[in-house]
Amino acid sequence: MSRIRNRTLSAAEQDAFGVELDAIRARVTADIGPSDARYIRRVVAGVRWTGVAGRALLFLGAFVHTVLVPAWIIGTLLLGLSKILENMELGHNVIHGQYDWMNDPKLNGKTYEWDIAATSQAWRKTHNFQHHTYTNVRGMDDDIGYGLLRIFPEQRWRPFYLMQPIIAVVFALLFQWGVAIQDLRIGRWFAGKMKPGELRKAFRPVGRKMGKQLLKDYVVFPLLAGPFFLPVLLGNLVANGLRNVWTYVIIFCGHFTADAEVFPKEVLRNETRGHWYLRQLRGSSNISGGKVIDLLSGNLSHQIEHHFYPDLPANRYATIAVELKEICTRYGQHYNTGSLPRQFGQVVWRILRHALPSRPRKLRVLDEPATA
Amino acid sequence: MTSLPAPKPRWPLRLARRAVSPALFDFWATRVNRLWTLEQPLARLVSRTTASRDAVTLVFRPNGHWAGMRPGQHVSFGVTIGGRRLVRSYSPTLMGDGTLAITVKAITGGVVSEYLAREARIGEIVSLDKAFGDMTVAAGGESLLLLAAGSGITPMRALLRDLAARGMPMEVDLYYWARQRDDLCFVDELQAFAAAHPRLRVHFLVTREGDAPAARVDTTSFDAVESLHRRRVLACGPGGFVTAARERFNGHVASFEAEAFSLPPMTPGDDEAGEVEVHLSRSGRTLKLPRNQSLLEGLEAQGVRPANGCRMGICNTCACERTSGTTRHILTGDRSSEPTTQVRLCISAPRTDLILDL
Q: Which residues of A touch B313 (CB under 8 A)?
A: 311
| Dist. CA B186–CA B191, nearest whole Å | 8
| Residue A195: predicted pLDDT | 84
User: Which of A29, A35, A132 is facing B314, going by the closest CB pair?
Assistant: A132
| Residue A118: predicted pLDDT | 96
Q: What are phi and psi of B173, to 5 degrees?
A: -115, 130
Torsion of CA A300, A303, A305, A308, to 10 degrees: 120
Chain B (308-347) residues lying within 8 Å, Cβ to Cβ, of chain A: 309-310, 312-317, 319, 331-332, 334, 340-342
Interchain CB distance below 8 Å, A133 and B314: yes
| Residue A106: predicted pLDDT | 94
Q: Which residues of B touch A85 (CB under 8 A)?
A: none
Report how far Cα A268 is from the mean position of its chain's Cα atoms. 23
| Dist. CA B339–CA B73, nearest whole Å | 18
Q: Residue B343 in contact with residue B319, Cβ under 8 Å?
A: yes
Interchain CB distance below 8 Å, B84 and A33: yes
Q: Which residues of B touch A125 (CB under 8 A)?
A: 309, 317
Task: Kindly state the average pLDDT of the residues B18-45.
Answer: 93
Query: Tens of pLDDT along B179-189?
Result: 988 889 999 99
User: Which of A38, A100, A133 is facing B310, going by the closest CB pair?
Assistant: A133
- B163 residue type, one letter: L
Most confident of the following: A1-5, A305-309, B298-302, B317-321: A305-309
User: Which of A37, A105, A129 is facing B315, going by the closest CB pair?
Assistant: A129
| Dist. CA B256–CA B80, nearest whole Å | 36
Conformation bin of residue B82: beta by default, left when phi > 0, alpha when psi is -120 to 50? left
| Dist. CA B149–CA B355, nearest whole Å | 25
DSSP one-letter code for B135: -
Percentage, residues of chain A above pLDDT 90? 87
Task: Kindly state the average pLDDT of the residues B102-126.
Answer: 91
* Residue of chain B minimizing CA distance to A276: B312
Question: Got the DSSP string for B6-27?
Answer: PPPPPHHHHHHHHHS-HHHHHH
Interchain CB distance below 8 Å, A129 and B24: no
Q: In the sheet that B275-280 helps form, which strands lie side by side, from edge to edge?
A: B285-290, B275-280, B354-356, B319-324, B341-344
**pLDDT surpasses 60 at A369:** no
| Dist. CA B93–CA B161, nearest whole Å | 8
| Dist. CA A99–CA A36, nearest whole Å | 8
| Dist. CA A178–CA A198, nearest whole Å | 19
HSE value, Cβ hemisphere, 13 Å, CA-based, for B304: 22
Query: Tens of pLDDT along B126-183?
Result: 999 888 877 888 877 789 999 999 888 989 999 999 999 999 999 999 999 999 888 8
Chain B (26-55) residues lying within 8 Å, Cβ to Cβ, of chain A: 26-28, 40
DSSP-derived 3-state class of residue B190: helix
Query: Tens of pLDDT along A330-351?
Result: 999 999 999 999 999 999 999 9
DSSP one-letter code for A10: P
Q: Residue B92 in contact with residue B100, Cβ under 8 Å?
A: yes
Q: Residue B344 in contact with residue B358, Cβ under 8 Å?
A: no
Query: Tens of pLDDT along A52-87?
Result: 999 999 999 999 999 999 999 999 999 999 999 999
**pLDDT surpasses 90 at B322:** yes
Task: Kindly state the average pLDDT of the residues A255-269.
Answer: 93
Average pLDDT score over chain A: 93
Interchain CB distance below 8 Å, A103 and B319: no
Helix (H) or strand (E) holding A34: helix A34-63
Ordered by where they begin, the domains of chain B are 11-128 (2.40.30.10), 144-260 (3.40.50.80), 270-356 (3.10.20.30)
Interchain CB distance below 8 Å, A104 and B85: yes
User: Which of A103, A132, A311 is facing B84, going by the closest CB pair?
Assistant: A103
Question: Got the DSSP string for B226-283?
Answer: TTGGGPEEEEEE-HHHHHHHHHHHTTTSSEEEEEE--PPP---S-TTSSEEEEEETTT
Q: How many CB atoms lie within 10 A of CB A88?
A: 24
The residues near B219 (Cβ < 8 Å, ≥ 6 apart) are none
Percentage, residues of chain B above pLDDT 90? 52
Q: Residue B191 in contact with residue B110, Cβ under 8 Å?
A: no
Interchain CB distance below 8 Å, A125 and B317: yes
| Dist. CA B107–CA B114, nearest whole Å | 6
Taking the CA of residue A48 and the nearest CA in chain B, the distance in Å comes to: 8
Q: Which residues of A touch B15 (CB under 8 A)?
A: none
Residues of A with CB under 8 A from a CB of B: 22, 26, 29, 33-38, 44-45, 48, 96-97, 100-106, 108-110, 113, 124-125, 128-130, 132-133, 273, 276, 310-311
Task: Kindly state the average pLDDT of the residues B111-130.
Answer: 93
Taking the CA of residue B129 and the nearest CA in chain A, the distance in Å comes to: 12
CA A284 to each of CA A134, A307, A324, A336, B40: distance values in angstroms, whole numbers, following the listed order: 12, 8, 14, 7, 40
Q: Residue B110 in contact with residue B31, Cβ under 8 Å?
A: no
What are B59's strand-pairing partners? B47, B101
DSSP-derived 3-state class of residue A37: helix
| Dist. CA B320–CA A111, nearest whole Å | 11
Task: Kindly state the average pLDDT of the residues B80-99.
Answer: 90
**pLDDT surpasses 80 at A4:** no
Task: Kindly state the average pLDDT of the residues A21-31.
Answer: 93
User: Which of A34, A96, A113 is facing B316, going by the closest CB pair?
Assistant: A96
Of the candidates A133, A68, A92, A61, the one whose C-alpha atom is nearest the C-alpha of residue A313 is A92
Q: Which residues of A touch B26 (CB under 8 A)?
A: 106
**pLDDT surpasses 50 at A139:** yes
Task: Kindly state the average pLDDT of the residues B212-226.
Answer: 86
| Dist. CA A108–CA A41, nearest whole Å | 13
**pLDDT surpasses 90 at B269:** no
Q: Residue A4 in contact with residue A365, Cβ under 8 Å?
A: yes
Average pLDDT score over chain B: 88
By CB atoms closer than 10 A (0-12, 13-18, 19+), residue B203 is middle
| Dist. CA A324–CA A321, nearest whole Å | 5
User: Which of B23, B40, B309 is facing A128, going by the closest CB pair?
Assistant: B309
DSSP one-letter code for B220: -
Report how far Cα B263 is from the mean position of its chain's Cα atoms. 12
Of the candidates A239, A305, A290, the one whose C-alpha atom is nearest the C-alpha of residue A93 is A305
Sign of CA dihedral A55, A57, A63, A65: negative
Task: Kindly state the average pLDDT of the residues B262-270.
Answer: 53
- A133 residue type, one letter: T
Query: Tens of pLDDT along B336-358?
Result: 888 889 999 999 999 999 999 99
Interchain CB distance below 8 Å, B316 and A110: yes
Q: Residue B356 in contact with residue B281, Cβ under 8 Å?
A: yes
| Dist. CA B48–CA B122, nearest whole Å | 8
Interchain CB distance below 8 Å, A48 and B28: yes
HSE value, Cβ hemisphere, 13 Å, CA-based, for B118: 12
Q: Which residues of A touch B309 (CB under 8 A)?
A: 125, 128-130, 133
**pLDDT surpasses 90 at B250:** no
Taking the CA of residue A132 and the nearest CA in chain B, the distance in Å comes to: 7
By CB atoms closer than 10 A (0-12, 13-18, 19+), residue A306 is buried
Question: What confidence tier does B282 reach under pLDDT thresholds 50, 70, 90?
Answer: confident
Task: Kindly state the average pLDDT of the residues A131-154.
Answer: 92
Number of CB pairs, chain A paired with chain B, less than 8 A apart: 84
List, in sequence order, every beta strand (DSSP E) within B135-218: 144-149, 172-178, 200-206
Most confident of the following: B86-90, B310-314, B350-354: B350-354
* Residue of chain B minimizing CA distance to A115: B21
Of the candidates A124, A34, A40, the one whose C-alpha atom is nearest the C-alpha of residue A299 is A40
Q: In the sheet that B125-128 helps form, which strands lie side by side, from edge to edge?
A: B84-90, B75-81, B125-128, B42-52, B55-62, B100-105, B93-94
| Dist. CA B340–CA B130, nearest whole Å | 14
- B5 residue type, one letter: P
* Residue of chain A minimizing CA distance to B20: A216
Question: What confidence tier does B315 reach under pLDDT thresholds 50, 70, 90?
Answer: confident
Query: Tens of pLDDT along A147-190?
Result: 899 999 999 999 999 999 999 999 999 999 999 998 888 878 88
**pLDDT surpasses 70 at A259:** yes
Taking the CA of residue A289 and the nearest CA in chain B, the distance in Å comes to: 27
Task: Kindly state the average pLDDT of the residues A106-123.
Answer: 94
Q: Residue A262 in contact with residue A137, Cβ under 8 Å?
A: yes
Q: How many CB atoms lie within 10 A of CB A58?
A: 29
The residues near A13 (Cβ < 8 Å, ≥ 6 apart) are A274, A331
HSE value, Cβ hemisphere, 13 Å, CA-based, for B270: 7
Pairing of the two strands B100-105 and B200-206 = unpaired
Q: Residue B321 in contact with residue B279, Cβ under 8 Å?
A: no
Query: Which of A129-133, A296-300, B209-213, B239-243 is the least confident region?
Result: B209-213
Interchain CB distance below 8 Å, B319 and A106: no
Q: Does B78 touch chain A (CB under 8 A)?
A: yes
